[in-house]
Amino acid sequence: FVLAPCPMNSTLVPATRRQTASQTPRPNRRRRAAGWLLLAVGLLTAPACLAAPSIARDWNEQILAAIRIDTPHPPVQARNLFSLSACLYDAWAAYDTNGAVGFAYRAKHGTTNLAAARREAVSFAALRILQERYSYSRSASLTLANLSAHMTALGYNPGNTSRDPATPAGVGNAV
């Protein structure tokens, strides 16, 4: 073990660790290949990440828009967020075949098109709870109009108040 002066400062460093410009380490080829592989995997999986948001995410965006234009009152808004989440889960669980049970709505329903039935039931459940929660807010007219317009944009009739459990809209309204 030999100590040699370091050219950068006046300290002594082990001679085996001294490197000159011609001896600087080059990036390992395996590391470079692994980096390219990770980049390729990331680019290939990116389209899956950019898929359309779920219907639950869609309704969460609606309640956040309602919160933004309403009078700030954190405890009330927290309750509204929880109530929406519970309704979304109950409407989803009504069509679950693996034993999931909702918070308040415990009935089970079957359908031939599970994804469409869940989407419709969740939409009607979300619309009803948000209409109930925001009917007396200062921004009620704007919020309720936005919610009805959103239901129409989703392809559903916001005036459908049927509670017939044979239809997804009825399940959502019953939740």
Query: Distance (Å, rounded) from C-alpha 72 to C-alpha 173?
Result: 28
Query: Distance (Å, rounded) from C-alpha 151 to C-alpha 120?
Result: 10
Query: Distance (Å, rounded) from C-alpha 120 to C-alpha 169?
Result: 6
For residues 48 and 146, the model is more confident at 146
* Cβ(118)–Cβ(95) below 8 Å: yes
Contacts of 108 by beta carbon, 8 Å cutoff, 6+ apart: 94, 95, 96
Judge if pTM exceeds 0.85: no
Coil, strand or helix: which one is 84? helix
Query: Distance (Å, rounded) from C-alpha 56 to C-alpha 45?
Result: 23
Give the pLDDT confidence of 37-53 residue by residue, as tens digits. Answer: 666 666 666 555 566 78
The amino acid at residue 4 is A
For residues 169 and 28, the model is more confident at 169
Instruction: For the chain, report the end-to-end CA distance as a whole number of angstroms.
Output: 78
CA atoms within 13 A on the CB side of 45: 6
Phi and psi angles of residue 104, each rounded to the nearest 5 degrees, phi first: -115, -35
Give the pLDDT confidence of 105-117 residue by residue, as tens digits. Answer: 878 888 889 999 9
Query: Distance (Å, rounded) from C-alpha 150 to C-alpha 142?
Result: 12
